[in-house]
Amino acid sequence: MVDKSDGPLPVMGPVLVGVIPGQRAAVVRRAAVLAAGLGVDLVCVHVDVSTYEETLPDGSRVLLPIDSDGDVSYVETTAEEMQTYLSEALNDCQVVWSFRTMAGEPARALSDAADSIGASMIVVGTREQGVIHALEEVLVGSVAVHLAHHQHRPVLIVPLDPRPFE
């Protein structure tokens, strides 16, 4: 549903935050504070770009590696590590939160997740500095920019390493 009115609508849906291994806790904590202040839940979503999702005949869904010879055990390990990280980061936050792992291109997967849960907004962090992160941005682009250009809901970008204008 796209809002075409001029007046503000009440916030009903949860806040969705994109999370990645090694991400600074500032992103998820900012999303948690925002969700708590709005009186909504927090949904933390990790997108694994090396997997795709398949629906089994019984209706359950499973993540499979893009490389058919690949080992998918790291998906479960990463999910467990992310759960531990989130538990620690959100330990003293007064918000109900959940975690899920999705597959595919990050901006599209976060958008799809936001649609499926009726999220009121999406929160993401900026990229860390460094050669690997710069190369990643060249190859896949900025998730924040993609979301900002293709979303009908607000996107909050939490700066991780702000630098003044020169």
Spatial distance between the Cα atoms of 51 and 75, rounded to a whole number of angstroms: 9
- Residue entry with tokens 């907004």: 121
pTM greater than 0.85 (yes/no): no
Q: Which residues of 109-131 are buried (b: 16+ CB within 10 A; e: fewer)?
A: bbbebbeebebbbbbbbbbeeee
pLDDT, one tens digit per residue, over 5-30 is: 676 667 789 999 999 988 889 999 99
